[in-house]
A and B are shown apart, each in its own frame.
Chain A
Amino acid sequence: MSNVQIMTGNQAAAIGAKLSNVQVVAAYPITPQSQLAEIISQYIEGGELKAEYVRVEGEHSALTVCISASTVGARVFTATSANGLLYMHEQLHWAAGSRLPIVMCCVNRGVGAPWTIFNDQQDSISQRDTGWIQIYCRNNQEILDTIIQAYRIAEEVYAPVMVCYDGFVLSHTMMPVDIPDPEKARDFLPPYQAHTILSPEDPRTLNPVLFPNRRANSAGVLCDGYMEMRYKLQAALERSPAVIEETSRRFAEVFGRDHGGLSWGYRREDAELVMTGMGSVASEAMQAADILREEGIKAGVVGIRVFRPFPAKHLKEAFRGVKGIVIFEKGISYGYEGALCSDLKAAFYGSEHQVPVHSYIAGLGGRDVKARELADAARASWQEMQSGIAEKPTTWLNCYTG
């Protein structure tokens, strides 16, 4: 029995958190996340969700509340956007370093200055090195489902997960969403059992100062130094792609929906030209692929769902045999190029499959990106690639750069 309702991405996210039976929520309002915080407040005050809602005075505190509540064993949730996420930056590192299974929604928005309230992905891209798993969603159904999946992943890997979705494009756009049955959701995601709980029954000092080298405890056992602990975070993230894929597969078995584990494909099988990106821009590229197919260009899409851990090995397979890659990114590593572009090119380093890669920066600060414009850009690149131009400078799409 399906239960399809029409809703915004923010509503879908709130339902995802509710179905995950989160126990502590702390959030601070920021456009375009605000509606999500409002809906969860309604669930809690209305008794639909049994949880503590801490109405914090800023995002730094929002994530701190989640960190501490998670430390005593509660399942926690927060959400933010843009400068709110940047304000959390210190605590993003703290959450990952503490190995806490926190799940957060980042409703992607461009960052100031100058101010924009509209969508791009510079906010979460700028946080890629904080030790969080980042999953990018392409529609409202995927937002809801990914939040439930995210808790399973986080609680298995002991790393926090950021569920990213585009502001306004998804957060404020109504789409049909099939709401999972709460019983099935509970079976899929059982209550959180923490491996370490800060408690008076077992007093310990968590996150103390560490010295550079390993030190022995009172029993003479040599314990980790800072570097070993940091290595363990990296090792956990390196192992996490398998967990993400398995979670996605299990979810598909139970709920009949497979959003792809690490990536998804569209008309990929015989594609020679593959467009790629994350979130709604990759979703838009599906239409662009249709346009190009009608023109006789064998075009397809690989949507990258997981940006951290970067699934390099998996993507090498996903792009196997393609003759040209065109990347559309809603963010940039200033002074170089799109972060996804760098990572993807690096994934092919040393392999025999050296494919031309053209990179486009698109849709910053909410500038509209139409499927036709993606098709035009991809077609132009495809022609250049065929005339031997394997590399070219990053193009800013729809931007008056003269």
Chain B
Amino acid sequence: MPENLFKINAKEYILPGTRACQGCGLSLAYRYALKALRENTIVTLPACCLCVLHGIYPSTPVMIPALNNSFASTAASASGLVAGLQALNRTDTTVVAIAGDGGTFDMGIQALSGAAERGTDFIYVCYDNEGYMNTGTQRSSATPLGALTTTTPIATKQQHKKDFLKIMEAHDIAYLATASPSYPIDLYDKFVKAKKIKGTRYIHLYIPCPPGWAYPPRDTVKMGRLAVETGIAPLFEIENGKFRFTSRSKSMAERGNRLPVINYLEKQGRFKKMNAEQLHQLQHWVDGKWQEYMRRSQE
């Protein structure tokens, strides 16, 4: 066991027996995120997979206070929590908004952009499983090119994923980071860091989803690793405008050992209809993004 695993808060904030799917990448990421955030935290979330994980009234496995809100309103809900706590002089509580890619890239973008522009003192977490998984794997603007979803059931998705990180960076927020449950120490460190920073912090979690991506539940950690190792999900952070690769992506940038995207795609049923042209386009798109990040890491 690597030495730095011991620094992780041993306390569990999610009891066993959640309603999440078998092999859920979100459960893993949420577990480490809450360990980093600790007790003095309030979470707000929309209707999404996380809402399912939180359970059905009157029981919940989650020991952190949480407020469910409507789909478009996650970041506005966080703004309200922050304003309410401020008005009541309880400013030591960390407010965390968590939504999926549909609730972030699509429906929640207005409220998130507003909250970020206002410099709201909160952490926004997008767990990106690349589709509307809670409602049955429909296409979102985070779904990658060539993926089958239940609303792109034959022709596959024809467009690239929205580059949401660029959108968030354009808001000049205090802290932006990506993380993966397959690299829990990196994820944990980023939440610990984000908790200490004031202002709007955005953490993007790449979340493998067994039913949505059509791979066996036991392969979630492997799928997360491949996403990072192929450059599809680079791990980095941007603090005060300074870009920095972290964890596995950092060593990949140093060694130049990025894997081709086919290694990742071929293990998921959702890409089985992807044609050679789409594969070429996706590889080209990932190459372009990676080179951009490489350039920025050397600035």
Contacts and interface: CB of A to CB of B under 8 A. Distances in A.
Interface stretch (A66-74, A268-276, A282-290, A358-366): A66-74
Interface string A199-210: 110111111111
A92 B76 CA distance: 15
A61 interface: yes
Given A200-B41, A208-B56, A26 B80 contact: yes
A64 B52 contact: no
A52 B118 CA distance: 13
Interface stretch (A138-146, A215-223, A258-266, A328-336): A215-223
**Size category, A interface:** 35 or more
Contacts of A61: 73, 76, 79, 110-111, 114
10 contacts: A23-B88, A52-B86, A56-B79, A60-B72, A65-B83, A68-B76, A69-B80, A72-B42, A91-B70, A204-B65
Interface in B73-97: 73, 76-81, 83-88, 90, 93
Contacts of B77: 64-65, 67-68
Given A57-B111, A72-B84, A206 B79 contact: no
Contacts of B167: none
A318 interface: no
A24 B80 contact: yes
Given A52-B86, A60-B110, A64-B77, 5 more contacts: A54-B118, A57-B111, A58-B111, A68-B44, A209-B68
Most chain B Cβ neighbours within 10 Å, of A23, A66, A209, A224? A209
A60 B51 contact: no
B224 to A, nearest CB: 27
A43 interface: no
B88 A57 contact: no
B73 A198 contact: no
A55 B72 CA distance: 17
Contact of B84 (A56, A69, A90, A211): A69
Nearest to B56: A209
A218 B17 CA distance: 13
Contact of B51 (A56, A67, A208): A208
Interface of A: 23-24, 26, 51-52, 54-58, 60-61, 64-74, 76, 90-91, 94, 198-200, 202-211, 215-218, 223-224
Q: What is the predominant secondary structure among interface residues of chain A facing chain B? A: mixed
**Size category, B interface:** 35 or more
A207 B69 contact: yes
Contacts of A55: 118
B87 A52 contact: yes
Contacts of A209: 51-52, 54-57, 68
Nearest to B69: A64
Given A60-B111, A200-B40, A208 B84 contact: no
A41 to B, nearest CB: 14
Contact of A91 (B73, B86, B87, B117): B73
A206 to B, nearest CB: 5
Contacts of A223: 57-58
A209 B36 CA distance: 26
B67 interface: yes
Contact of B67 (A54, A198, A218): A198
Interface in B43-64: 44, 51-52, 54-60, 62-64
